Amino acid sequence: MPVFVADLDEECLLGYNYLTRMDACVDFRQKRMTVRGHDVPFLHEVRRAEVVTTKRLRLPPRTEGRVQCHLTHVMKEAEGLVEPVSDLRLADGVALGRNLVGAGEELVTVLLANFSDKAQNIPAGTPVGACEEVQQTKAWRQGERPHVAGPLPGFLEDLVQRSATHLTEAQTERIHDTLSRHADVFSQGDLDRGRTLLVKHTINTGTSAPPQVPASLCCTGPP
């Protein structure tokens, strides 16, 4: 394999002149830099907290349930993302669902699923995952306005109330906003479900012949 070596006459550090002029001090061990007395981190420090159950939860086989948890560190300035942790071993067959946590929230309701064939007990005080700080930016297209959630139809208001039983106020507002954005995809009754040409349903009857019904005459009056 060929190796190419640059022909440099002088040793240099990228940005050396600027760093010297700004009285910069670089500490590679601590991964920090001081510029004119101000600390500048090399990398953005991502805050992380454990997600610990506050109540006991019993999961029957092949079911899922919600349980309230608290964070060991509150994300005060940014939202957090609750995710499973590979080195955190839960009960066999139990998995954690991802969830967003609002800035400043200490309590969060998470979804746990039991994929095993036996009941699983999750005691209070059990670490079930981790929450890491996330930075969200949303760029709007030119001429596009952000969506403003309006009043929901009655049939969706009932859905919000039933879904918000174990959710915080901020999480309930996010559900309200999501349903408001996509209210047109929900059926309001049995007569507005429509049809689709994207899926074709076939009933396999094997070697059985179609059923036959003898013809009959229906008389509505005297012959």
190: burial class by Cβ within 10 Å (0-12, 13-18, 19+)? exposed
Strands 57-59 and 79-83: unpaired
Bridge partners, 85 (sequence order): none
Backbone angles phi, psi at 122, to 5 degrees: -110, 105
Residues 56-73, mean pLDDT to the nearest whole number: 91
Percent of the chain with pLDDT over 90: 16
pLDDT of 162 > 50? The answer is yes
Give pLDDT, residue 128. 92
Range with the poorest average pLDDT among 26-40, 45-59, 142-156, 183-197: 142-156
Average pLDDT, integer, range 37-51:
74
Question: Under a CB-based contact definition with an 8 Å cutoff, are residues 108 and 71 in contact?
Answer: yes
- Look up residue 18 and give its two tokens: 């600027």
How many whole angstroms separate alpha carbon 65 and alpha carbon 115?
Answer: 12
Helix (H, G, I), strand (E, B), or coil: what is residue 48? strand
CB 160 within 8 A of CB 133: no
- C-alpha distance across the termini of the chain, in Å: 103
Q: Which residues, in sequence order, are CB contacts of 166 under 8 Å at separation 6+?
A: 66, 68, 109
**Mean pLDDT, residues 13-24 taken together:** 75
What pLDDT, on the 0 to 100 scale, is given for residue 60?
92
Q: How many CB atoms lie within 10 A of CB 116?
A: 14
Predicted local distance difference test score (pLDDT) of residue 53: 93
Assessment of whether the complete model's pTM goes beyond 0.75: no
168/75 Cα distance (integer angstroms): 16
Q: Is 51 helix (H, G, I), strand (E, B) or coil?
A: strand
Looking at residue 1, its pLDDT comes to 45
pLDDT at 71: 92
102 SS3 class: coil
Q: How many other β-carbons are positioned within 10 Å of the β-carbon of residue 99?
A: 19
Out of 3.40.630.10, 3.30.1360.10, 2.70.40.10, 2.60.120.620, the CATH code matching 48-134 is 2.70.40.10
Would you state the structure tokens that stand for residue 10, as one six-digit string? Answer: 């002088």
